[in-house]
Amino acid sequence: MSAMDFWVRNSPAAKSLAETEAVRVAEKRFGLPRRSFLEFTAALVAAMGLPSTAMGAVVAAMTQPKKPSVIWLQFQECTGCTESLLRSEHPTLDKLILDLISLDYHETLFAAAGHQIEAARLSAMKENKGKYILVVEGSIPVKEDGIYCKIGGKTAIDLAKECAADAAAVIAIGSCASWGGMPSTSPNPTGATSLSKVLGKPVVTIPGCPPNPYNFLSTVVHFLTFGAVPELDDKGRPKFAYGRLIHESCERRAHFDAGRFAREFGDEGHRQGWCLYKLGCKGPETYANCPTIQFGDAGASNWPVGCGHPCIGCTEEGIGFQKPIHALAVLKTVTPPTQFARPGEEQGQGATMVTAGVAAAIGGLAIGAGLKLADNLGKRDDAKPDTKQK
């Protein structure tokens, strides 16, 4: 039994909430057992960092009669963000995302096309002026007045500005819309850029390639419940999803602290699940909740690092699609151990952590061991001077 299921079964608050009219409405509307609906709601509340007492407000928002209008634009992208949402296997997401919101414009999902779909967009904007949620997927090309992306005769620049003018909230979903993503990589012939730069104002950014659909859903539910977007960081990302480094919660973190690193794909360390730092994992400099909520509902370890590939930093501007995949990451907040365990010591070069610690003690420098650790982490047998950790 999961902790969430235990709470739903045994919490007096959950039992009381289960008997409310709102939950009875949800049970009928979404076609879900009450317990399943409460488990999903509790998971959203926990993901957003809200107290359990907020569940009542969240349930009420999710069962309100009128569903909020959502206009979803797609520009320079691969449709991966949409596909990620559609492919999610959570037993309630497919029902909730369609019953929770009114998806009034989406080029990929619409059966209509041409003048009909454009008429639907304009009608939704007019009827829900100041109340609809705008979601933008894909970067926006700005070179040569945006001629590289047009929809219905309008450039992506004009469409984004037109739809954002009367939106209650604007969300950039995926790394392309958040900061340019893959289309913006050098030499960037189309001038692909982020939604916020085109609009000239901050927007809610949910980066990732693709982003986790639950981060998007939790953001929408927060807006429905409180009439405002969740707390954001300096890049516009919801702090509940992007407030901690991947490295802090990684299932391989213990191997990092013990100095056990895979050095090549398929070697003994790689097969045993050791830390992927030396293979270029960007977890130490990338903020995301991938290790905690994972991805795709396909079981345990169903995220890149768990599957054996280094994190490429797709949620970070200037790292994903910019920094070489196997280049060493910058160690932002690592707290090094006093010494490596024997397996890690065998993989290092030069002085061991024991001798570094002794030297630090003699010199009176408490940070000496930590600096030596950072230096050792950056060294590889084939490392060149410009690839070593500074």
The pLDDT score that the predictor gives to residue 348 is 38
DSSP string, 299-338: STT-SHHHHT-----TTSTTTTTTS-TTSPPP-SS----S
pTM assigned to the model: 0.74
Give the contacts of 227 (CB within 8 A, at least 6 positions apart): none
The per-residue pLDDT for range 316-349, each reduced to its tens digit, is 999 999 999 889 999 887 755 544 443 334 443 4
Query: Looking at per-residue confidence, does 124 or 359 come out higher?
Result: 124
Q: How far apart are CA 283 and CA 173, in angstroms?
A: 21
Residue 311 is predicted with a pLDDT of 95
- What does the mean pLDDT of the chain come to? 79
Domains located in the chain, CATH noted: 3-61 (no CATH), 66-242 (3.40.50.700), 246-387 (4.10.480.10)
Residue 386 pLDDT = 45
Alpha carbon 259 to chain centroid distance? 28
Q: How far apart, in whole angstroms, are the C-alpha atoms of residue 21 and residue 63?
A: 10
Which pLDDT does position 94 carry in this prediction? 57
% the chain with pLDDT above 90: 45
d(CA 7, CA 14): 7
Helix axes 213-226, 93-100, angle to 10 degrees: 40
Please give the pLDDT value at position 340: 47
Per-residue pLDDT, 342? 38
Strand positions, DSSP E, 15-168: 69-74, 102-106, 133-137, 140-141, 150-151, 154-155
Cβ-contact 233, 242 below 8 angstroms = yes
What's residue 352's pLDDT? 44
- Structure tokens that stand for 271 in this block: 């097969």
Instruction: Using pLDDT thresholds of 50, 70 and 90, give the confidence band for residue 366.
Output: very low
- pLDDT band of residue 112 (cuts 50, 70, 90) is confident
In this predicted model, what pLDDT tens digit does every residue of 190-214 receive, in sequence order?
999 999 999 999 999 999 999 988 8
Q: List pLDDT tens digits, range 230-245.
A: 999 999 999 999 999 9
The C-alpha angle 143, 146, 148, rounded to 5 degrees, equals 90
Condensed to tens digits (0 to 9), the pLDDT of residues 15-29 reads 565 557 777 776 666
